[in-house]
Amino acid sequence: MTQTAIAQTPTKSSNARQSLNPNPDGGPKSQKQMSKAERRDLQERQRAAKAAAKASVPSTPAAKSNTTPTGVTAKGAAQSPASAAKKSGKTADGKPVKGEQEDTSHLHTHAQVDDTTRGLRIFSHFGLPKSPSVTKGDVHPAIIRVGLQFSDFKITGADARCIAMLTAFKAVIQDYVTPPNTTLSRHLMTHLSPQINHLVLARPMSVTMGNAIRQLKLEISGSDIDLPEQDAKNALCSKIDNYIRDRIVIADQVIQETAGKKIKDGDVILTYARSSVVQKVLLHAWEDGKRFSAIVVDSRPMLEGKAILKALTAASIPCTYLLLPSLPSVLPHATTLFVGAHSIHANGAVFSRAGTATVAMMAKLHNVPVVVCCETYKWSETVRWDSFSKNELAPTPFPSSASSNCHSSRHNPDIKTSHNLSVLCPLYDLTPPSYITAVVTEVGVIPPSSMSSIPAALGRTIGA
């Protein structure tokens, strides 16, 4: 009787085999005989059977021997509910044991990350200056030093950054040794790649740096392979010196002469932030005997206008210093606006320090001519329509330390001490060509609509 009962009771494996058999009477169908729905149903039942078999069989023998009901140890001894709750960290109703706190630190961490990044996630593609702590590849000490100066904003301005980079490249070239079985013109290009990458990690590359690097690579590829190594390195360093002299130093001198002719006695020159070229133009015009006054408009967080203010007042030029919100009060007295440029693009748009577009727009509304002083090596063949697609973030004006926050709160009660405060300071903006009257370059005064003619004026050497 017992054997019959056992025989009539189907085992779990036989049920699984029967459930996997789509046609138990006529034999199993082949995959070709089944329809698409039948094959899908068979796959679902196979997955369910595998999951049930895996759940019913313990993974290891040790786990099988230790699998006991709640409150009973592996040896069969009774376990008190208090000790079981202490081990699990929770009581029977799922609440944490007294004296034990549920671990929710990961939830707070994710919430904090979401709160701090939600506001600036749309600007996450902006270049953020950072000190490269780890150098990748064989990086020269001169490049590491310049990279730190870039990331700390100790070297700012398109001209200053390009000159510092090229000067560091001269040290790299002089210390370079060509490996055996190769040539300088081929291997030096590979050696320069980690140097360039390190500078880009410190701060995004500017248009001027990109144009200078392309010109340097062109000179390296065209170097004579029959020259001795030291002579070839000296020739490359001489080419770098010539580039700095011709494209920056002499170009600035020509711009000084050309833009200085636009300044007359009694003029009130308006300028924004600090441009090394505009500073040279104003100082040169004052040295030529022209008597005028200057209005320096500045803005946070960089406050670069203080540097040009110091240089102009040292030359006894009458100056007025004010911040950007006060601009409308002085615009009726200005005769010409002189601004610099970080880069200028083929459609005539000027990429410059944030706030330049606002100053140019308001000057245009008050019929004040807007003159941009810019060397041609800042020209880019790209077309730009906004400053959102590519930009950088300026250093934050509010320090993160608690003492600095308290100091700011005392001077401005509206500023609350909060770790969730994120200050967004784009470094540049784009001035449309409709706001610009003329662009003064070393090849002459060019209207914004004719900026695409610059390569032809220079024999197509820009960005070669």
Q: SS3 string of 307-342?
A: HHHHHHHHCCCCEEEEEHHHHHHHHHHCCEEEECCC
The pLDDT of residue 65 is 44
Residues with Cβ < 8 Å from 227, sequence gap 6 or more? 235
Return d(Cα 432, Cα 314) in angstroms, integer: 34
The matching CATH number, chosen from 1.10.10, 1.20.120, 1.10.1060, 3.30.70, for 141-250 is 1.20.120
Return d(Cα 147, Cα 132) in angstroms, integer: 8
Residue for token pair 């390009």: 162
Q: Which residues pair with 373 in a beta bridge?
A: 440
Token reading at 234: 């000296």
Token reading at 346: 């083929």
User: 87, exposed or middle or buried, with CB in 10 Å at 0-12, 13-18, 19+?
Assistant: exposed
Looking at CATH, the fold of the domain delimited by 262-399+421-458 is given as Rossmann fold (3.40.50)
DSSP 356: H
The pLDDT of residue 113 is 39
The pLDDT of residue 110 is 38
Averaged pLDDT, 342-358:
95
Token reading at 357: 């577009």
Per-residue pLDDT band at 387 (split at 50, 70, 90): confident
Bond into 301 cis (ω within 30): yes
Asked if pLDDT for residue 436 goes beyond 80, the answer is yes
The pLDDT of residue 186 is 87
Q: How far, rounded to the nearest angstrom, does the alpha carbon of residue 294 sit from its chain's CA centroid?
A: 35
For residue 430, give Cα distances in angstroms to 338, 356, 382, 462: 16, 8, 13, 21
Averaged pLDDT, 176-200:
91
Per-residue pLDDT band at 160 (split at 50, 70, 90): very high
Residue for token pair 């600090």: 274
Return d(Cα 176, Cα 188) in angstroms, integer: 8
Return d(Cα 297, Cα 253) in angstroms, integer: 24
Token reading at 104: 């929710």
Q: Is it true that 141-250 and 262-399+421-458 share their CATH fold?
A: no
| Secondary structure E strands in 217-307 | 268-272, 293-298
Q: Which residue has the higher pLDDT, 140 or 8?
A: 140
Quote the percentage of the chain above a pLDDT of 90.
53
Return d(Cα 77, Cα 217) in angstroms, integer: 80
Q: What is the pTM of this model?
A: 0.69
Backbone angles phi, psi at 353, to 5 degrees: -60, 140
Amino acid found at 69: P
Q: Which residue has the higher pLDDT, 235 or 29?
A: 235
132, 127, 129: which is closest to 145 by C-alpha? 132
Per-residue pLDDT band at 366 (split at 50, 70, 90): very high
**pLDDT tens digits for range 265-303:** 999 999 999 999 999 999 999 999 999 999 999 998 889
Torsion, CA 104, CA 109, CA 114, CA 115, rounded to 10: 100
Rg from Cα positions in the chain = 36
Terminal Cα-to-Cα distance of the chain (whole angstroms): 98
Torsion, CA 204, CA 206, CA 211, CA 213, rounded to 10: -40
Q: Is 96 helix (H, G, I), strand (E, B) or coil?
A: strand
- Give me the helices (H) in 119-175, please: 141-151, 158-174
Q: At what angle do helices 276-287 and 250-260 cross, to 10 degrees?
A: 60
The mean pLDDT of the chain is 79
Return d(Cα 158, Cα 175) in angstroms, integer: 26
For residue 309, give Cα distances in angstroms to 102, 111, 253, 322, 453: 60, 46, 21, 11, 35
**pLDDT tens digits for range 19-50:** 444 454 555 667 677 787 888 888 888 888 88
Domain coordinates of the chain in residue numbers?
141-250, 262-399+421-458
